[in-house]
Structure formats: C-alpha cells, structure tokens
Structure 1
C-alpha cells in the first residue's frame, strides 16, 4: 500500500461550465449595480444598493408554454372553421344536384303523361270512327221500309224516363270535370248515375259497369231514357242519355261540358235499356 493512500486530496472539485457562467452573471450584475451607485452619488455619500430582479427560468417556461398553447388553439379553431366551410359547400352542391335530378325526372314524367294522353285520344277517335263505319254499313243493308225511332222527332218521354230526360237536360251548360258527380260539374257516368237516381234507380259509378246493365237494344229502336255507350258494352269509355228525337245529352269533355247533340255528331257504339 502506498504511504499516501489515506491522505485526503486538497484539490477543489471542478465546477461545471453552466454554474460558472451563472455565478459570473450574478457577480457581474452586482458589480454593475455598485458601479452605477458609486458614479451617481457624491463622493462622500453613502453607497446605495439597488437589486435588479432577473427573470427566472421557470417564469420563461410558463410564458413560452402559454404562447404555444394559444397558438395551438388558434390553429385548431382555424382547421375546424375550414372543415365546416367545406362541409357546407358540399351540402350546397349536393342539394343543387338533387334538385336538378328531381326536375329532370318531373319533366320526363310530364312528357310521358302527355304522350300517353295523346295516344288515348287517338285510340278514342279510331274507335268512334270504326263504330260509325260499322253502323253505316249496318244501316245501308237494313230494310229501307223499316222506320227508326232514332230518326223520329215525335218521341215523347213518359213516366220514369221523363224524369231522367228532364234532369239530364236541366244540366246542359254545366262543366265537365273528371270524377264530377254534381251539382254543377259532371263526368259522363256521374251525370247518367244522377239522372237515373231521379227515377229511383241506383246505377254503378263507372261507364263500363253502367253499359253492362239492363238489356242491349238496337240503335234503330231507341227510346227516351236509354243509355248510349261508346266502345264495347263491357268496356265502354263514354256514356250518355238518349232524350228522343235522334238526340242525346251527355257530359262530353272539358271543352264542351254537358251538351245535347245529334246522334250523327258522334254515333254511339250501342245502347242498353234499364227501365
């Protein structure tokens, strides 16, 4: 063992560079304070000591953390505002596209309904033309000596038929409305149903059912109060009431309303007798 093993070392421990810098700064601050005080006062004045508080590292850390937090909150709010604006713009764009699509669909349906209506009117005209042609051929081949009650102007309605004819004629000039059942607007079957109710007869509501009632009669053997129909008997699309004298009363269409017409104006396909 060395003879110096138990002898403590008298060498001072080394101070770290940061501690030396801190002490140097504090010492410098104190010396500056003393120098300022000495220079400002008179030679025989007592020295004035003024302590200048230096900001601590802790307070600087708090201020820095607050600034960082405020900046983060501002950035987060700005991002949220941008996100909401983007969502709002997307919703507006979607609503505009949906509205445009709905309009296009509505226009397409309207065009389809218009085309279907035109086809239905064409079918109705064709059916009436065919009925007129068939009736003309039948009339030309019949006995020339036979008399037709449809051509007679001397027919007078009596009894229940008179009530039906009077009611039908009282509605001439009323408007035509699809589904109308009175008292001031009618469709064809609504008028026929109401007229027969005056005679105590309850008829079905629609024309095809009304023309299926009673007994089929020839157009050359009509009587006042008979129901005229256009189309087939079980599938008629229009009905009216024969009032005598070769004429009928019916709710014709929206442009004419309830009118009295000659059979020649629009020859029916057939007739049925209820009474």
Structure 2
C-alpha cells in the first residue's frame, strides 16, 4: 500500500454542472465578489487555489429572453417606421385638403363675382329698357300735347318755341349740352328761343332775369319758368300751355313734359 493512500486530499469534490449553472447576472455577481476579496487580502494571493470555480453557461431561458428582446426591438422599429409613414401620409393629406379648400374658396369667389356682374348687367339692361319705354311714352304724350297746342290760339313766335320744346321731349340730359341730341335746362331754353331769332343768355341765373317778370297765374305759352329766385335761379323750363311745361330735368329723366303741379316753379319771365 502506498504511503500516500490515507492522506486526505485538499481538493474539494467537484460540483455538478447542473448545480452551478447560474444565470448571467448571478455569475457576474460571483466574479465581482471574488475580485473584491482579492483586492482586500493581497497576502492570500500567493496561496495556491484549492477550489475550482466553473463559469455558468447560458440556459435555454436566457436565450429565449434574448431572442424576445431582439424581436421586441424589431417590433418597436417597425412601429416607429409605420408611425413615421402615417405621419407623412397625414401631413400630405392635410396639405392636399388645404389646397383643395383654397381652390374651392377661390372658385366660389370667382363665381360670386361673375354672378354679381351678371346681376348688375341685368339691372342696367332693365333700367335702359325702362328709360326707353318712358321716353316712348313721353314722346307720345308730347305729340298729343303738340297737337292740342297747335289747335289753340297760340301763333307766331310763341308757337314756334313751344313746338320746338315739345319736339325735344325724350332726348338726353347732359350738363353743359345745348343740342341737338342732348340738353341741360338752360341749353334747351336757349335753343328754343334761337328758333325765333332771340339770343338768350346761356345760364339759368341770367335767363331768370331776362325780360319781364309775370305772375304764375297769368302765364302764356313760351314764357320762361324758373326755380329759385330771379337772377340766381338754379333751374329753368318753357311753359307750353295747358298747365304744363317742358324742361331738361336731370340725367335720369332727360327732357320731359310735366305739370306745374308736379314741380311748382318760383316765378316766370316773358321775353316775347
């Protein structure tokens, strides 16, 4: 028998792998503890290692966890990509919607402008038609008035003045005009008297102070009617008999025949 057969060994029995298999976190903790122990007792560093420490191996559970982590990372990345794509699509849709809205508003504004222009054109056409109808009516009335007046006792220069004034009914009023297609109030009176060789002043103020002042109750055809005061009248017309006068009133009516009751004059003058 060997002399060393009964000498006990200083090496401890090896532990089985199944008992020392630890998770990676536990193995790290053991290694850290050994490192700290070595730093605290350097005197023991020279002593021989009497215990064998086996490194833990990765278990199936840890591998599964790592695989799950990788899969989770891929899933998060995919989610982020999907979210980015959705955000980009939403931004593009918002821009398209805004452009569509702006286009729609612009088209609506253009349509409104066209409708307003059409309405104005229609109103203008209706007004022109109304004026034309009024002028036709006034012309017919003037013709009737002329016939009535010619049948009266008016003769000579007065008749010529009245007939000329009645013939101008329906023509346009234009400020400063003296004929033959348009007149203002004093231009019409001046043109009528020119038919009998009488040269009247141009403006209504001077015409209202020409000749002899006569009462409105003693009017004769051909007398000049005025509105305002003598010498500063703002409107004149020609008395045509039968309680009516002919005057170039304003741009809306043009030359018309009206009753004295329609617009009572202030006074009158007789030139003939």
**TM over 0.5, yes or no?**
no
TM-score category, normalised to shorter length = 0.3 to 0.5
Higher radius of gyration, 1 or 2: 2
Compare relative contact order (CA 8 Å, sep 6+) and give the higher one, 1 or 2: 1
For normalisation by structure 2, the TM-score amounts to 0.44
